[in-house]
């Protein structure tokens, strides 16, 4: 950030009085511009013991496979963000999606939330941000061509869960700093 979005003057990096971290502070109107972690919401679309993945048509990780997910917009819920991204990237809707996992990833200041749900619409083809979409069984998942570590980890937890628990389990797995913290509901 170079300029204040309130008055247009230049900003400086400094620790405001009473604070403990450096912030962008306006040199003229003294507005403090905080930077906070971003939330990425997505879905695990299920159908007949398979998972739908999207092959990315955009950078980063162009050409690699991912779960449909993206940055939340202001004024939307995490569930709406997840289902909106799933429609944008895969042109599908899900039946009653429920929260499956939360990954807190402090070193990149991101929080991922994935909802699982059964695909309840026709699968017609990829959205504009995907090259293709396809259904994969656990044995077919392209583990070496997944776009992000959080996608691999989510899928591993998902299949582990399918094996070790009731497949209809309606809970969430929370992971932070590489430690599984809790499961609930
Ligand atoms: Zn200003």
37 alpha carbon – ligand 1 mean position (Å) = 23
Distance (angstroms) between ligand 1 centre and the Cα of 38 equals 24
User: Does position 184 have pLDDT exceeding 70, yes or no?
Assistant: no
12-47 tens-digit pLDDT: 999 999 999 999 999 999 999 999 999 999 999 999
What six digits make up the tokens of 65? 């496979």
43 and 30 belong to one structural domain: no
| 11 and 80 fall within a common domain | no
Tell me which residue range forms the domain holding 125. Answer: 38-184
Asked if 171 and 132 sit in the same domain, the reply is: yes
pLDDT, tens only, 133-177: 999 999 999 999 999 999 998 999 899 888 876 555 556 677 766
Chain centre to alpha carbon of residue 67:
8
Q: What is the pTM of this model?
A: 0.86
Same domain, 26 and 47: no
Same domain as 68, residue 52 = yes
Burial 26-59 (b: 16+ CB within 10 A, else e): beeeeeeeeeeeeebbbbbbbeeebbbbbbbeee
Helix, strand counts (H, E) of the chain: 2, 12
Q: Which residues surround ligand 1, an ion (CB under 5 A)?
A: 4, 6-7, 9, 26, 28-29, 31
Same domain, 109 and 154: yes
| 110 plus 172 within the same structural domain | yes
Report how many domains make up the chain: 2
């Amino acid at each position: 950030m170079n300029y204040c979005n309130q008055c247009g003057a230049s900003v400086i990096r400094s620790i405001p009085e009473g604070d403990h971290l450096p912030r962008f502070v306006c040199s003229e109107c003294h507005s403090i511009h905080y930077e906070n972690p971003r939330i990425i919401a997505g879905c695990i679309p299920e159908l007949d013991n398979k998972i739908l993945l999207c092959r990315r048509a955009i950078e980063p990780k162009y050409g690699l496979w991912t779960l449909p997910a993206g940055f939340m917009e202001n004024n939307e819920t995490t569930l709406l963000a997840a289902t909106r991204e799933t429609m944008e990237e895969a042109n599908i809707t899900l039946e009653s999606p429920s929260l499956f996992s939360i990954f807190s990833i402090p070193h990149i200041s991101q929080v991922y939330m994935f909802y699982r749900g059964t695909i309840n619409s026709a699968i017609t083809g990829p959205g504009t941000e995907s090259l293709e979409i396809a259904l994969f069984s656990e044995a077919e998942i392209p583990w070496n061509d997944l776009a992000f570590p959080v996608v691999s980890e989510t899928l591993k937890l998902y299949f582990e869960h399918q094996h070790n628990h009731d497949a209809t389990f309606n809970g969430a797995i929370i992971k932070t700093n590489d430690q599984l913290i809790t499961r609930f509901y």
